[in-house]
Structure formats: C-alpha cells, structure tokens
Structure 1
Amino acid sequence: MKQAPQEAAKRTLTLRDVSEASGVSEMTVSRVLRNRGDVSDATRQKVLAAAKALGYVPNKIAGALASKRVNLVAVIIPSVSNMVFPEVLTGVSEVLDGTGLQPVVGLTNYLPEKEESVLYEMLSWRPSGVIIAGLEHTDAARAMLKNADIPVVEIMDVDGTPVDAMVGISHRRAGRMMAQAIAKAGYERIGFLGTKMPLDHRARKRFEGFTEALAKDGLEVADQEFYSGGSSLAKGREMTETILTRTEDLDFLYYSNDMIGAGGLLYCLDQGIDVPGQIGLAGFNGTELLDGLPIQLATMDAGRAETGRKAAEIIARRAENAETEGRVELSPKIQFGATLKR
C-alpha cells in the first residue's frame, strides 16, 4: 500500500519573502510594515499587496527587542457584559485607529487578584501603554504600574491619586448631584438599591456622596437593598419588590445602575404605581437600554465614550513624546427623563 507523500515542512515567512514577492529591498519592506520612514504610495501598496497575498504577519515581538515595546495598548476592564465598558472601548478604538497602536483587552471580573494576574501577563508583552479601570489596585498591581516605564491612564474615576494619569468623573460629585435633585423635587423617603460595594469602588463613592448631600438637606436613606453578581432587569424587579414590600412608604428609589433601575421601573408600571407621582426613580450611566422603556428613566450620563477617547489620546500623545494632562475630569450630567419630578 502506497503511503501519501509527506507534506513539505512549513516554515515561517520572512521579510525576504515579501521583498522577493514585491521586488523591493527588505529594508523598504520593513519600513512599510512598521509604518516608518519615507516610502512612496506606489511602493507601499506594492509591499502591502505582496504581504497580504503571502499571508505574512510581522513578528512585532522580535521587532520590539530593540525598542523594548510593541504597538499594543493594554486595556484592562472588569467586564464586557456590563453595557458601560463596550462604550469605553469604542472611544479608545476611535482614537487609536490610524495611530499604529492596537488595543488589547483584559478582563478582571472586578476581582483584585484577577486584575493583578491580567496586568502581569499584559505587561510581559511590553505594551506601549496601559488603560485600566479604577484607581484602587493591590499593592503588587500598583507597583507593576509604577515600574512599567510606560504611560498609564486610570479611567472612570478621579476621586483619588493616580499612578500616572486619570480620566473620568468624580463619583462622589455624581452622587451629590443626584441627591440634590431628588431633595429639590420634594422626595423625602428614599431607598437605595445597588451592588455590594466592597469591590465596586465607584458605586461606593457615589453612595458616599449621595448620603452626604442628603444629610445636608436633613434627609437620609430610609432603606437599602444590595445584591451580588451581574446586573439584570429581573434582578431590578426582584429588588424593587423586596424593598417596597419591606418599606411601603418610600417615595424615591435610587439605583446604582440603569439595568436594575429599568427592571425597577417595569415592576412599578406592572403594579400600577404612579411614577413619578407616587414614587420617583433614577439610575446611573445613561445607557441606550433606556431608550426602549415605556417611559424614560432618570439617570446620569458619565461620559463613557469620551472617557475612552481622552484616555487613548493621552497614550497616543505620549507615544509621540508630547506632554499631556495628568488629570482629566469630565462632568456628569443628570438626565431627568420622566421618573424624576423637576
């Protein structure tokens, strides 16, 4: 029985292969693929066409041995299932497109030890910069960020001291603003519904600002309901039923995010509760989810896409050795919708 001939051993394509296919020197091929140097458009297109036809992918790690950098930007966020963070990534991508820098995402699931391990792996690739959610990190993670010798931008929060640069809103200010609007509207019996906050530092800061501002108006949170795990409409319905059954005279519910706030709104409408007359509601984040509700939930826009854009701009400018701001604070904006009396 005849054996099938063995396939020729595969080998890694090199610059020489692209050089021979395009008819230009290896040095020129290198310049084109690294987007460096003065090369005519015709030559550039010839090289790119040859590389594409061959299926050649540059070994950027090898090319980084001299520069000690690769053209990757590590973007470390808690989750992509949370609607907040895809908008941040959109803003990052909008700016980095065309710069030669490519975002690579790492997920931490809100766990400090997971963030530490993700950061360790990503820094081992010697990226050109790091964009990381939040200001709170383990001592080991903070040490890695400080010693990385690359631009680091902490995002989504400015209530604290950054390792390098930070972009976002003040969550304490956001909480104060919502409390002031609720008090001004005449609500007095207020309930808070949100995530268990030891690991959600931004929600904790909003709650602190919220309660501080209420106290100045002689008010306090009359009841609270917390949950762990992911946000969902069903979770918002369940929590709202629980808190209203337990404390029947509440006249306002403040949710730590729009997802559970939307679930709460749907529960109230199903029960025939007059919103915002009998009870007012507000969430946080200003997500597109709210556009599909029967009535518009009050919320607060935290500038997520703009946060991503500003952070990426800092990384891109630092790559060109340009000076940048160390603190970029965006202004949260209340969207009153139809569930918060004005």
Structure 2
Amino acid sequence: MNQNDPTQELSDVGGGVTLQEVAQLAGVSSMTVSRVLHAHANVSEQTRSKVQAAIAQLGYVPNRLAGALATAKTRLMVVIVPSLSNIVFPEVLRGANQRFEAAGYQAVIGVSDYDQQKEEQLIEAMQSWRPSGWIVAGLEHTPRARQMLREARSPVVEVMDMDGDPIDMAVGFSNLQAGRDMGRFLARGGRRRIGYVGGHLDRDLRAAKRLQGFNEALAEHGLALHGQHSADEPSSLLLGRTGLAALLEQHPDLDAVYFSNDDMAVGGLMHCIAAGIDVPGKLALAGFNGLQIGEAVPKRLTTIRSPRFEIGERAADHILARLQGKQPQSRDDMGYEFVTGQTA
C-alpha cells in the first residue's frame, strides 16, 4: 500500500457507488475526491463544492475496508429496527439471525428509535463497511436513506409493512388492512362510541397506517372516532394505562377502545381492572401484534397476531437467495391472524 495515496484508505470494495463515479460526475480526479473526503487544505472551495454536490447526488458513502483485497466480501448483514424495548422487533431479529448464522453471516444491529434522521445516519455508518445485505423496518425513509439503500448494490428487504413501494424487496403484511379488520370487527359487534389510544403517530408510521385503516372501516359503518389520546412518546404498558384513564376522563361514555399495540392495550386492561370497569361488557378493548402478555392477562386480549419471527426468517431467506443468484419475489405478503380473544 502506498502510504501517500489517500485513495488507498477509501477503496470501493464490496459494491456501492464508487469514488471513481463521484469523480466523473464532479469532473475531477479520484485523488481530488479523496482529498475532499480527507478535508485536505489544498483544494479550492469551488472544487470542494462540486465534489460534495456529486457525493450528495449519488449517495456515496466511503468504504472503510482500508487495504482490503479487491475480491474481499464482508460477511455482515445489517438489520435496522426502530426499537428493542418490546418483543416485536427482537423476534424479527431472532428469525433473521437464525438464518444468517446458519449461512455463515453475522447480523449487525442498529436501533433508530423511530427517528428517520437517526435511521439515515445508521445506514450511512453501516454502508461504509459494505454489508452483504440489509433488513430495514418499514417502507418510509428519508430521501437520502432511500438513495443510499438503492445504491448499496446489496439485497435490501423492508419488513413489517406492505403498504407502499419497496426499494428492492418487502416482506410483511398490510397495516392498513389490519386496522380495517379491527374496525369492522368492533363496528359489527355493535360498538358505536369508539376511542383510540396510541403513542407518537408521527414516528410510528405503521401504527398510523393501522389507525387510518381503522378510521376507514368505521366510516363504512357511518361511524367516526369518538375520542383519541395520542402521546408524544413511545408506546408502553404504563402509557396504555394512563392514556386510557385520560381518554375516559374526557369521554366516559366510550364503549370500545382500539390501542396502537398490545403493550398499550394490556396497560389499558390493567386500568379497567383497577377501576372496576367491566371488560368487555361496558368497554371493549383491542390491540395489535399478538404478544404473549395478551394471552397471560386475566382475559385474553382481542388482537391481531403478526408473524414477526417468520418475517425475519423470510427476509433473510430472500437476501441469501439473491446472493446465490436467485430472484425471490419482490413483495411477500405473509398476512396475519385475527385473535378474537375475550376483551371485545
């Protein structure tokens, strides 16, 4: 390796937009691009601006595999999830990791905290190591994140949603339809004064889609939400309990409440037990995800069970198949299971 050549430190091993492509678009040499990336002083501001504009346009991320052989390939698989605080995404991860380990790959985990800007930063940081594949939660990302994933030249699978256009492949289910199914179930069961309790819908876009579908189903029956409590914080058991209490204080005549997920719904059930509210006689409760905690409570929760572990497995299988030169389907809708339960 030539110690005086900075391009040796920013090789383009493993695919993705190359340094040479940036140089071509900017109309400069590869050496000049490297000097800009290294903040070298001997570059004019005009040239630096052209290079930075080309980097932004192409979504280029420097490869940190310094000195690696041109034929080297990483054995890393990136999995970016919004949270590890409940069992949903750890189960996705467990399913994917089981498949990756069996094939000799190592999963690298990133947690975005439902923040698209943080997700973008994670993608940029991880792309610098040129992983062999990507699993990313959801179909909504910042424009730059989408561009980096498109330009990664590695298989990308977006999981846990089918309501939108995938960058490459998608494995999941329709959150819109899940919301519709629950709305129809409550409306057909004679519930008329229905409320909603959820976390930050501006971040948890899949919960927002379920609420959209739920509202569409109510409208089919000539109904609308009677009340809503959405807190600007992540969902939790405690938020479900305090959220339902706050909602019932404003709307004591509610006869059903739909929660963004099972954590929230179980918290709501705990409030009803403490307050002596008859469930489902006076108030029906419904959640989403089909967590075990919803089966362990005194009355089994009415919910929709998502195949989280299987989605992780299938997403990993699609990536591994693509790496073997196969062409798995780009959209793999795995559906869900409606659990009638005892709370609605």
TM-score of the aligned structures, taking structure 2 as reference length:
0.79
The SS at the match of 1:66 is coil
Task: Find the counterpart in structure 1 of residue 143 from structure 2.
Answer: 139
RMSD, aligned CA: 1.5
Deviation at 1:219, TM superposition (A): 1.0
Counterpart residue identity of residue 93, structure 2: L
What's the counterpart of residue 102 of structure 1? Answer: 106
Equivalent in the alignment of 2:178: 174
Q: Give matches, 1:298-337, under 5 Å.
A: 298-337=302-341
Cα deviation digits, residues 234-272 of structure 1 (max 9, x gap): 211111111111111100000001111101001111111
Shift in alpha-carbon separation, 1:226–1:240, aligned structure 2, 3 A: same
User: 1:64–1:70: 8 Å Cα contact kept in structure 2?
Assistant: no
Structure 2 contact 183–215 (Cα < 8 Å) conserved: yes
Q: Select the residue among 74, 93, 98 that pairs with 2:97.
A: 93
Supply the distance in 2 between the matched residues of 1:284 and 1:243 (Cα, whole angstroms).
19
Give the gaps of 5 or more residues in structure 1.
1-60
Whether contact under 8 Å (2:198, 2:235) holds in the other structure is no
Please tell me whether the aligned partners of residues 68 and 126 of structure 1 are also in contact (alpha carbons under 8 angstroms).
Answer: no
1:245 aligns with 2:249: yes
Matched, 1:113 2:117: yes
Aligned partner (choices 257, 264, 284) of residue 261 of structure 2: 257
Measure, in 2, the Cα distance between the counterparts of 1:65 and 1:290: 52
Give the letter for the 2:104 counterpart: G
- Displacement of 1:195 in angstroms is 1.5
Q: Indicate whether 1:275 and 2:279 are aligned.
A: yes
Which residue of 180, 188, 191 maps to 2:192? 188
- The percent of aligned pairs where both chains have the same amino acid is 45
The ranges of structure 1 where at least 4 consecutive aligned residues each deviate by more than 4 angstroms after the TM superposition are 61-64
Q: What letter is aligned with 1:249? A: D
Distance 2:84 2:244 in 1: 25
The Cα of 1:230 is off from its aligned counterpart by 2.7
Q: Relative to structure 2, which stretch is displaced further, 330-339 or 165-174?
A: 330-339
Q: Which moved more, 1:223-232 or 1:213-222?
A: 223-232
Alpha carbons 1:151, 1:315 under 8 Å: kept: yes
Q: Does residue 1:209 correspond to 2:231, yes or no?
A: no
Measured in 2, the distance between the counterparts of 1:105 and 1:96 equals 13
Contact 1:235–1:263 at 8 Å: present in 2 too? yes
State the 1:62 CA deviation.
Answer: 7.6
- Residue by residue over 1:301-339, the C-alpha shift from the partner in whole angstroms, topping out at 9 and shown as x without a partner, is 111111101100001111111111100012122111110
Q: Which residues in structure 2 correspond to 1:3-82 (within 5 Å)?
A: 65-82=69-86
Change over 3 Å in CA distance of 1:191–1:102 after alignment to 2: same
Contact 1:237–1:263 (8 Å) recurs in 2? yes
2:69 match: secondary structure: helix
Distance in 1, Cα, partners of 2:125 & 2:202: 25
Count, aligned residues: 281
